[in-house]
Structure 1
Amino acid sequence: MLGELDEFCMKTLAKYGCASASLAVVERGELVLSRAYGQADVAGQQPATPETVYGLASVTKAFTATAVCLAADEGLLDLDAPIPGGYQWAAPTPRQLLQHRGGFPAFYNFHYGTGPLPINLDRYRALVREPGTDFEYSNIGYHVLGMLLEAASGQELGVFLHERIVEPLGLASFGFGPVHAGSSPVAQRYSADGRAYATCHSGHPAAGAGWATAGDVALFAGTASRLLRPATAAAMYDAVPINDYLGYGLGRIVSRGAGAVVRSHGGGMGGVAAMMIDIPERELSAAVLANSTNKAARDAIVDHLMGTLAPGFHSDQLNPITEQTRPMTLAQDDWAGKISTAEGDIPLWIRILAGSRVEVRLGDGPPVTVPAVASQRWNLRVSAPVQLPTADARLNSPSFGLELSVEQDRLVGRAIAFKDGDRDGWLGAYLVYPCALRSH
C-alpha cells in the first residue's frame, strides 16, 4: 500500500502544482501511518516531513468547539443561554453558533501587513436571519464564541486550548495565532500559482488560526470526545441536516445515510488546504494537510487514502454544499433599491433580461450584464466584475455578488464584495451587506 500511496501523492502534487502535503492515520488511538511529500519551503529547499506543521484554517473550528463544550462541562457557560448583546432578533446561543445557525452571515477578512486590521469585523457583526432558523457557515459566529469563552474562563483562547486540549491529548505540535511559535518546522503557505504568502492576520482567529502536524490532527479527531462528559460528546455529533448527505453538529460535519458515519471538518484559506476525518465505527481517524490555496491535491489524496482505508467512503460525506444552483425564473423587469453599508447607502439597479441574464448597475458606475442563476434559498444569484465602492471592499475585494429572494413586492437579500481566488495577489475579504429593491 505504501509504495502505491507514495507514488500517487507525488504525482498528485505535480499534477496540481501543490508544494507539499502531509497525511496521517490513527487507529484505536495510536498513530499507524505518517507520511509527507514535496517541499515545505520551496525557496529554502526544505522537504516536508511528518513533523512539519501546517496551517489548519477552519479545522481550527473543531478545536474551538471542543473548548466551548469543555467550558460548558465545567460550568463556565451554558450552551443554551443567549449570548450578551443587543440583536435584531432574540440573541443566539452558543449551541446555535457552534452549529452555524446563529444568524450571522458568511465573512472573512485577511490582512498581510503589520498594525491593526484595516477591516473591523464588528461592522459586519449583525444578524441576517432569526437564530436557529437556517444554516449559514459563519466565521463571525466562531469569533463570538472565542470572545465568550475568553470572558467566561478569564484566559486567552490559545492558553485555554493548550491547557484543556493540547496537553491532555499530547498534541505537542499544536499552535494558535497568525504564526506558529513552536520549534517545529512550518510549511510555507503558497497561492494557487505557487507564490509564497506573507504572514496572515484575521479578525476571527477562533475560526481559523490553528497549526499542527497531520499526526496531531488525526489524533485529535479520534480522541477529543474523551475529554467531554458523555452527554456533551453525544451532543457534539448530534448534527442538524444541512443537505441530503450531511449535518453540522458542534464544530463537526457528520455524514448521514448509508454506510459508516464519518465525522470531519475541512479548512481552506490562502495557502492552506486541510482535512480532518474520524470514522468512529472503525476506530479510525485521519488528516491530510497541504500548503496550497488550491484544494485539488488535498481532495485527491483524501479520496485515495480513504478509498483504501474505508471501502464505501465517498467525497459527499465531507463536502457541506448548501446551495445547489437551478435556473433563474424571474420575469423580465426593472428593479431599483439600495445597499446598506456603514459608510452610507449605495444605489443599485438591476434589469432582468431574457435568457437568464441580468444587467447590474451600482452607484455611478456603468451597467454590466452577467448570467444569473437561482438556488433553493435565493431567487436570484449573480456575480459581476464590479467594485463595491466602500473603503473595506476597495482594499482587496474587487468582485461583486448579489443573492436576492422575492418577498411580496420586493427583492431582499445581500450584496457581497469578495475576491475570486488568489491567482492575482492574495486572497481578499468576503464582506456581506444587506440590500433591498422594488420593481419600478
Structure 2
Amino acid sequence: MLGELGTLDTLDEFCTKTLAEHGCASVSLAVAEHGELVLTRAYGSADVATQQPATPETVYGLASITKAFTATAVCLAADEGLVDLDAPIPGSYRWTSPTPRQLLQHRGGFPAFYNFHYDGGPLPIDIDRYRTLVREPGTDFEYSNIGYHELGRLLEAATGQDLGGYLRERIAEPLGLTSFGYGSAYPGTAAVAQRYSADGRAYATCHSGHPAAGAGWATAGDIALFARNAPRLLKPATVAAMYDAVPINEHLGYGFGRIVSHGAGPVIRSHGGGMGGIAAMMIEIPERETSLAVLANSTNKAARDAVIDHLVGKLAPGFHRDQLDPITERTRPMTLTRGEWAGEISTPDGDIPLRISVLTGDQVEVRLADGPPVTASAGASQRWDLRLSALLQLPTADARLNSPSLALELRAEQDRLVGRASAFKDGDREGRLGAYLIHPCVLRSR
C-alpha cells in the first residue's frame, strides 16, 4: 500500500504544501487495510495560538460523519428487536409518519436544517419549530439533520440510554475506538484540534439542536477503523440493508448513514462532514479491503479534498470526485417568461409578504415585506423552475440571529410558483456560521 502512495517523504511534502496553499491549520489522515491501521500521519497546528502540533492522536470534530455512528446504532437496536426499521415513528404529521428506514436514507420528508450556536445557554432557535414534513415520506431524497435528530430521540426511547453512552458502549468500545467522544465539547482528555473559520479565526464551542447528526469526535485512525469494522457488529442481513443505497443521482446512492457509489469506477462507501471549523471525510474501498479518513480543522474543505484526491486516486485507480459528492440539484438555465408574482413566506412568526418580477434574461427582482427591491441572477434545476439567492434579511427572530441571506427555490404550478424560502449565511468569512432555516412559500401570478 505504501508503495502505491509513494514515499512518506513525498506524502509529507504534498500535505504540507496543501495546507499552505489553502490556509488550513492542520490535517490528519489514516489508512487501514483488512481492518488494521497501516498509516497514520498529521500535519500543521492543532492550535495555532499555542503552536501545538497536530499528531495522529489529535481528536477532531466529525460533523456529519456522526450520522454513520447513529445509523449503526439504529441497526444494532434493530438487530436486538428494540427498533422496527419499517414502523412509523411516534408523532402526528401532515402525511403518515416516516419510518426509521426512510429517515436513515434521508427520505423521511423533513427539510434541510441546522442551528449552530456558540455562546452557551439555551439554544435560541428551537428545532421543533421546523420539524414539519415538506413532502410525503419515501418520495424523494433531502439531506436532513432533523431526520437524524428524530433517530437519536427514537434510540434513546428504545434503549433507555442517552445516545452518547449507547454509541460508546455498543460501538466505540467493542471496536476499540478509544478516542471517540460525543457532545458539543469533546468529553475526553486527548488533545483536540481547535476549529478555524475559512479565514483563520478560532471558533468557540458549538452547540446545535441535532447532536445525533453531527456531535461526534475522534482521531483519523479511529474513523478509518470504524469505516471498515463497524459491519462486524451487525447481522449480515442488516449490513446488506445498510449498504442498499437508493440512488440520489447518476453516481451515488444513500444507504444508512453511508453514501455508496455506483456505475463507473471502483465502489466507494463514504460520508463527509462539514460545519464551522470542520472538514472531515470517511471512505471505504471494499474491493481493496481498505478504508481511510481525512480530518481537517477548517471550514474550507479545499485542503481536505486535495488530500483525499491524492490518497484515493492512488489507492483506487478510476476514482472520480463525483463518487463522493451527493449533488441532487443539477443546474439548468431558467426558462420562466417575464411576469410578476406575489404571495407569502410562511414562518413560525407568521406570513411574510414576497413579490418577485422576472425580468429579461436570468434577472429577477425580489421585494421582501416592505423592503426595497433587490435584483439577483436566477437559475433552475430538474426540481425547481426558479432558484436564486440574495442578501435579503428574512424579518423573523430566528433568521435575524445569524442568517442574513435568502434563497428561493420555486416550481411553476399553473398560475402559481410553489416551493420554499431559506434563510442562511453564505459561509463564515465574516462572523460564525449561522442557521439554515426552510419555510414554505407560495406566490400567485399577478
Q: 1:102 aligns with which of 96, 102, 108?
A: 108
Q: 2:281 aligns with which of 268, 275, 283?
A: 275
Which deviations, in whole Å up to 9, do the C-alpha atoms of 1:194-247 show, x marking residues without a partner?
000000000000000000000000000001011000000000000000011000
Match of 2:376 in 1: 370
Which deviations, in whole Å up to 9, do the C-alpha atoms of 1:64-113 show, x marking residues without a partner?
00000100001001000001101111110000000000000000000001
Q: Which runs of 5+ in 1 are unaligned?
A: none
Aligned length: 440
Match of 2:162 in 1: 156
Q: 1:264-413 alignment to 2 at 5 Å?
A: 264-413=270-419
Which deviations, in whole Å up to 9, do the C-alpha atoms of 1:163-188 show, x marking residues without a partner?
11001000000000011111111000
Q: 1:9-408 alignment to 2 at 5 Å?
A: 9-408=15-414
Identity score, percent: 78
Question: Residue 355 of structure 1 aligns to a residue in which SS?
Answer: coil
Match of 2:3 in 1: none
Q: Distance in 2 between matches of 1:344 and 1:372?
A: 26
- In the alignment, is the contact (CA less than 8 A) between 2:18 and 2:303 conserved in 1? yes
Query: Where has structure 1 moved over 6 Å in runs of 4 or more?
Result: none
Question: Residue 10 of structure 1 aligns to a residue in which SS?
Answer: helix
Question: Residue 120 of structure 2 aligns to a residue in which SS?
Answer: coil
Q: Distance in 1 between matches of 2:337 and 2:142?
A: 28
Q: 1:411-426 alignment to 2 at 5 Å?
A: 411-426=417-432
Alpha-carbon distance, 1:114 to partner: 1.3
Alpha-carbon distance, 1:314 to partner: 1.4
Q: Distance in 2 between matches of 1:114 and 1:129?
A: 34
Question: Residue 224 of structure 2 aligns to a residue in which SS?
Answer: helix
Question: Residue 201 of structure 1 aligns to a residue in which SS?
Answer: coil
Moved more, 287-296 or 259-268: 259-268
Which deviations, in whole Å up to 9, do the C-alpha atoms of 1:383-418 show, x marking residues without a partner?
011100000000000001100011222111000100
Q: Which runs of 5+ in 2 are unaligned?
A: 1-5
Query: Which one-letter code corresponds to 1:102 in the other structure?
Result: G
Query: Which one-letter code corresponds to 2:304 in the other structure?
Result: R
Q: Distance in 2 between matches of 1:384 and 1:316?
A: 28
Moved more, 32-41 or 1-10: 1-10
Query: Which one-letter code corresponds to 1:79 in the other structure?
Result: L
Q: TM-score, normalised by structure 1?
A: 0.99
Q: TM-score, normalised by structure 2?
A: 0.98
Q: Distance in 2 between matches of 1:314 and 1:170?
A: 32
Question: Residue 178 of structure 2 aligns to a residue in which SS?
Answer: coil
Query: Which one-letter code corresponds to 1:206 in the other structure?
Result: A
Q: Distance in 1 between matches of 2:370 and 2:18?
A: 47
Alpha-carbon distance, 1:258 to partner: 2.5
Question: Residue 430 of structure 1 aligns to a residue in which SS?
Answer: strand
- In the alignment, is the contact (CA less than 8 A) between 2:30 and 2:292 conserved in 1? yes
Alpha-carbon distance, 1:259 to partner: 2.9
Question: Residue 31 of structure 1 aligns to a residue in which SS?
Answer: strand
